[in-house]
């Protein structure tokens, strides 16, 4: 487009934009540097299996009401094209505490109603697992939650589930994206906010979700132990506290400064339990109250972080795989057999497969992303699902929702801490015992920043001409997973290193695992091969 074309498009967006703050931002872009305006309108946010996610701002490459209305219109058309009962089953819509989340959710409901699709719109901020759980509970055609999960404060996002209760996978993402592309974002048809096709839901669905929580416990006879908890300024706090009560656990000791929803995240620079420092306030509360375990949700409560006390009185944040190992060791001892299934991802630890084999349980690895774990469960209906997890703090320990659930996982992890105490051991001693039985699995990861194009090219070059040595250790096998854009190298001595371009950030991600040795040098050596 010429700059005149860009300016004309921006003027149409300005005329259609309903929010004063975004209008002011867009007007400043129009009045300012033409190159900056052209860059903002050079493309549009691409809808993928993770939906949409970007900073809130003006133009088609940011999250704003016009972008959301366009996405909702495309989704509505896709549902009408693919589900003959969509106009009866409807869509359930939730939102978190981030900037404009409530407006994005309301606009989605109004677009759906204009298309003749009934919607159930939450009248309160809701944790993502509750929204995901509600889809199959209501037999809805789809679910939408407006959230950017653990992204930086400036971001917002738009996550879509279809009627099976799982996040979308190909080809649905392509189909929805194509219909979004056919919609003019400046002229989307919207019903009135009080349209008869828009109904309000809230406490009824939260209560129904909580009524299912006690079934998560395997040993309800074991009394609870002191637990520290942070909601990390997210929307899961009240629901988690009520979940503990429903499950017969004593109330957790909460981090008061982080309990109320606040989309600005004033006490953390990055609201992700994986980030260094994000759980510092939590661990201080845990020390103060003598907790046996400290647990954290991310802002939309679909992830679970944890920290445990050490013999010297300090606290240590657990890696995502360590939490998964504790879940697996506990659950597989209670529920094993050849008709059971556990699922993890390619970049998570190989230890889950060893545990499953020991207990005679079937296991499988999937592509990165919890949507693939859900797909593995749906594709094996003849098996009884036990556990699904990914190393990025995502855990599923119940039959529903078919997505990671940091609330039900927190309940079960609190029970695991209680069972450990009843057995006279700490969670660290439990992890040490797992290492004694299966070998001490040591994990390492790294990232090398580069453009997405360069990242893809570097990984492709390694795939075309794989090295014979990595870190002085011979490469004994090379496995390709093209659907995940992942390359795995098995080295002498049982070391495993993996590499893939990030799907969401400008970087290459590297993962290493070894038994009874540190894989960090091999991860570093693989990074050096990127040049």
DSSP string, 305-362: EEEEE-TTS-EEEPPHHHHHHHHHHHHHHHS-STTEEEEEETTS-THHHHHHHHHT-E
**320-334 and 427-438 helices, crossing angle to 10°:** 80
Q: Which fold has domain 46-203?
A: Alpha-D-Glucose-1,6-Bisphosphate; Chain A, domain 3 (3.40.120)
Which range has the worst mean pLDDT, 49-53, 81-85, 287-291, 464-468?
Answer: 49-53
Mean pLDDT score, 99-113: 98
Residue spans of the domains in the chain: they are 1-42, 46-203, 209-312, 320-438, 441-528
CA distance 12 to 152: 30
For residue 512, the SS3 value is strand
How many whole angstroms from its chain centre is CA 238?
20
The correct answer on CATH 1.10.150.530 for the domain covering 320-438 is no
For residue 4, the SS3 value is helix
| Cβ neighbours of residue 447 closer than 8 Å, sequence gap 6 or more | 502, 505, 507, 508, 509, 510
CA distance 415 to 225: 8
* pTM (whole model) above 0.75: yes
Query: What are the pLDDT digits (tens) for 431-466?
Result: 999 999 999 999 999 999 999 889 989 999 999 999
Buried b (16+ CB within 10 A) or exposed e, 148-174: bbbbebbbbbbbbbbbebbbbbeebbe
Q: Are 251 and 226 in contact (CB under 8 A)?
A: no
What pLDDT is recorded for position 504? 65
Question: Could you tell me how many residues make up the chain?
Answer: 531
- Whether cis (ω within 30° of 0) applies to the bond prior to 401 is yes
- Ranges assigned E (strand) in 271-312: 293-297, 304-309
CA distances from 360 to 330, 339, 374 (A): 15, 9, 22
Mean pLDDT score, 253-274: 95
Q: Is the dihedral of CA 281, 369, 146, 396 positive or negative?
A: negative
Residue tagged active-site, from 134, 149, 348, 349: 149
CA distance 493 to 374: 33
| Cβ neighbours of residue 460 closer than 8 Å, sequence gap 6 or more | none
Q: Average pLDDT, whole number, for the chain?
A: 95
**What CATH number should be reported for the domain whose range is 209-312?**
3.40.120.10
Reply yes or no on whether the pLDDT at 1 is more than 80: no
Does 502 qualify as catalytic in the annotation?
no
Consecutive H or E run containing 146 = strand 142-146
Mean pLDDT score, 335-360: 95
Same fold, 209-312 and 320-438: yes
Most confidently predicted of 33-47, 61-75, 264-278, 491-505: 61-75
Tokens 């090379």 belong to residue: 478
Mean pLDDT score, 398-421: 97
CA distance 489 to 473: 11
Reply yes or no on whether the pLDDT at 312 is more than 90: yes
What pLDDT is recorded for position 484? 81
CA distance 244 to 246: 5
CATH architecture classification, 441-528: 2-Layer Sandwich (3.30)
Mean pLDDT score, 137-166: 95
Mean pLDDT score, 29-51: 90
């Amino acid at each position: 487009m010429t700059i005149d074309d860009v300016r004309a498009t921006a003027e149409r967006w300005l005329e259609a934009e309903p929010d004063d703050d975004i209008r002011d931002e867009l007007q400043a872009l129009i009045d300012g540097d033409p190159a900056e305006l052209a860059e903002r309108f050079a493309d549009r946010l691409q809808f993928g299996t993770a939906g949409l996610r970007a900073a809130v701002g003006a133009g088609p490459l940011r999250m704003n009401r016009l972008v959301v209305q366009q996405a909702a219109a495309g989704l509505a058309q896709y549902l009408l094209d693919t589900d003959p009962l969509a106009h009866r089953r409807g869509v359930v819509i939730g939102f978190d505490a981030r900037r404009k989340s409530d407006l994005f959710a309301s606009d989605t409901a109004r677009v759906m109603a204009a298309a003749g699709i009934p919607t159930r719109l939450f009248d309160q901020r809701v944790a993502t697992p509750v929204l995901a759980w509600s889809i199959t509970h209501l037999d809805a055609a789809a679910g939408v939650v407006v959230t950017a999960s653990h992204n930086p404060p400036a971001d917002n996002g738009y996550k879509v589930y279809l009627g099976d209760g799982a996040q979308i996978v190909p080809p649905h993402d392509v189909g929805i994206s194509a219909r979004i592309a056919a919609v003019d974002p400046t002229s989307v048809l919207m019903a009135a906010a009080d349209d008869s096709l828009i109904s309000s839901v809230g406490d009824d669905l939260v209560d129904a979700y909580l009524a299912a929580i006690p079934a998560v416990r395997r040993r309800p006879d074991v009394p609870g132990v002191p637990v520290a908890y942070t909601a990390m300024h997210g929307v899961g706090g009240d629901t988690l506290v009520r979940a503990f009560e429903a499950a017969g656990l004593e109330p957790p000791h909460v981090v008061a400064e982080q309990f109320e929803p606040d989309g600005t995240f004033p006490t953390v620079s990055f609201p992700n339990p994986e980030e260094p420092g994000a759980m510092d306030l939590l661990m201080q509360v845990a020390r103060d109250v003598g907790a046996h375990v400290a647990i954290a949700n991310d802002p939309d409560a679909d992830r679970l972080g944890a920290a445990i006390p050490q013999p010297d009185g300090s606290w240590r944040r657990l890696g995502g795989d360590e939490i998964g190992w504790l879940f697996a060791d506990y659950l597989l001892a209670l529920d094993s057999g050849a008709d059971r299934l556990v699922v993890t991802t390619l970049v998570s630890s190989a230890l889950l497969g060893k545990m499953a084999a020991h207990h005679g349980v079937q296991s499988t690895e999937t592509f990165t992303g919890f949507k693939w774990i859900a797909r593995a469960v749906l594709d094996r209906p003849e098996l009884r699902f036990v556990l699904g997890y990914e190393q990025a703090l995502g855990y599923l320990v119940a039959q529903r929702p078919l997505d990671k659930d940091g609330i039900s996982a927190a309940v079960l992890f609190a029970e695991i801490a209680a069972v450990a105490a009843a057995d006279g051991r700490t969670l660290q001693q439990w992890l040490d015992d797992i290492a004694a039985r299966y070998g001490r699995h040591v994990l390492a990861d790294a990232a090398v920043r580069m453009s997405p194009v360069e990242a893809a090219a570097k990984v492709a070059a390694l795939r075309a001409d794989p090295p014979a040595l990595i870190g002085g250790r011979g490469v004994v096998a090379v496995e390709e997973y093209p659907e995940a854009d992942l390359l795995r190298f098995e080295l002498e001595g049982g070391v495993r290193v993996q590499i893939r371009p990030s799907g969401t950030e400008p970087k290459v991600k590297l993962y290493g695992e070894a038994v009874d040795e540190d894989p960090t040098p091999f991860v570093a050596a693989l990074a050096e091969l990127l040049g």
